[in-house]
Amino acid sequence: MHKNIEFFRFRRLRKTENLRKMVRENFIRKEDLIYPLFVVPGKKVKKEVPSMPGVFQMSIDNIVKECKEIEELGIPAIILFGIPEEKDEIGSDAMSDDGIVQRCIREIKKEVKDLTVITDVCFCEYTSHGHCGIVRNGDVDNDATIENLAKEALSHVKAGADMVAPSDMMDGRVKMIREVLDENGFTHIPIMAYSAKYASSFYGPFRDAAQSAPQFGDRRTYQMDPPNLREAIREVEEDIKEGADIVMVKPALSYLDVIKTVREKFNHPVAAYNVSGEYSMVKAASKMGWIDGDRVATEILISIKRAGADLILTYFAKELVKKEIIL
């Protein structure tokens, strides 16, 4: 060893797991996680989604059991997606006080007292055409749709939802929902807006889980164009002006730059959705023995956290917490 060569020994602080933990810059806590659930009609239903191993469509009775376990694990929140018995052109079940999600919320709240129940506010799971609102002349009518979105959000909150999360990407929907909630005495209910939701190919497995694939065309006239970053900042800024309490970027893994930019420009809490395609790729590669699935999942989540997300919606939440991989 040449004694005149000077350098800093970074490896000193990597020597042991304890040392690595002591100087670790970013952490994932179970309190950072939101776990998505899919409720379907029937009883004693627990059907695995073929493209999402470990993720299930469940009837209300099994959703309640699942929520009890999630609460016991210390995961603070779920986001609930509903698949109705019948779909129609306007997604009536989404707005009905007797809709699948509304009934599920009431049953959860009877049995699970401290879990935060967030609801997805959209129409793609409820409409016969699979688009996120009222279709006229082959496209979604923005202004007619936001009126119905506000009705849907209000019905969720009346049923007991703790937070609503509009995911439709219609212009002005946060303002409309905020006004309707406030007019009905729900000024205390927060809105987590899907503010920068891209028209992504990573959503494929979710459409199996939620049975929400569009029957014609695609969603590029209302979801964002993936190459755009400045537009995302404008979307987030507008949602904050309209009353969003939390802003979200979706997907997460290919949009870490968007998460980082949103974090740097705004003081609002930032959520990111680690979406179905990101989940399923890890599961598929792990099944083939090509990767260590748990470690890759954790690495993905920490990258989302490091980019600036405060909250992460992820299908990995339950299994990683159960294995005590992220605490």
Look at residue 257 in the predicted model and tell me its pLDDT. 98
Of the listed 43, 158, 197, 322, which one is catalytic? Answer: 197
Look at residue 102 in the predicted model and tell me its pLDDT. 97
Instruction: Examine residue 251 and say whether the peptide bond preceding it is cis (omega within 30 degrees of 0).
Output: yes
Look at residue 258 in the predicted model and tell me its pLDDT. 98
Domains present along the chain, CATH in parentheses: 25-322 (3.20.20.70)
Strands 192-197 and 311-314: unpaired
d(CA 237, CA 50): 38
Mark whether 250 is an active-site residue.
yes
Look at residue 220 in the predicted model and tell me its pLDDT. 72
Amino acid at the residue 39: V
Of the listed 87, 250, 305, 318, which one is catalytic? Answer: 250
Look at residue 240 in the predicted model and tell me its pLDDT. 98
d(CA 230, CA 233): 5
Which residues on neighbouring strands pair with residue 86, listed in sequence order? none
pLDDT values of the chain reduced to their tens digit, one per residue, 327 residues: 566 778 889 999 999 999 998 999 999 999 999 999 999 999 999 999 999 999 999 999 999 999 999 999 999 999 999 998 888 888 889 889 999 999 999 999 999 989 999 999 988 888 877 777 778 787 888 998 999 999 999 999 999 999 999 999 899 999 999 999 999 999 999 999 999 999 998 988 876 765 666 665 566 788 899 999 999 999 999 999 999 999 999 999 999 999 999 999 999 999 999 999 999 999 999 999 999 999 999 999 999 999 999 999 999 999 999 988 764
CB 140, CB 134: distance < 8 Å: yes
Strands 139-140 and 135-136: antiparallel
Look at residue 218 in the predicted model and tell me its pLDDT. 62
Look at residue 221 in the predicted model and tell me its pLDDT. 80
d(CA 35, CA 62): 15
Look at residue 118 in the predicted model and tell me its pLDDT. 98
Q: Distance of CA 168 to CAs 149, 154, 171, 318, Å?
A: 9, 16, 9, 26
Token output for 277? 């395609």
Strands 116-121 and 163-166: parallel
Token output for 254? 């290919």
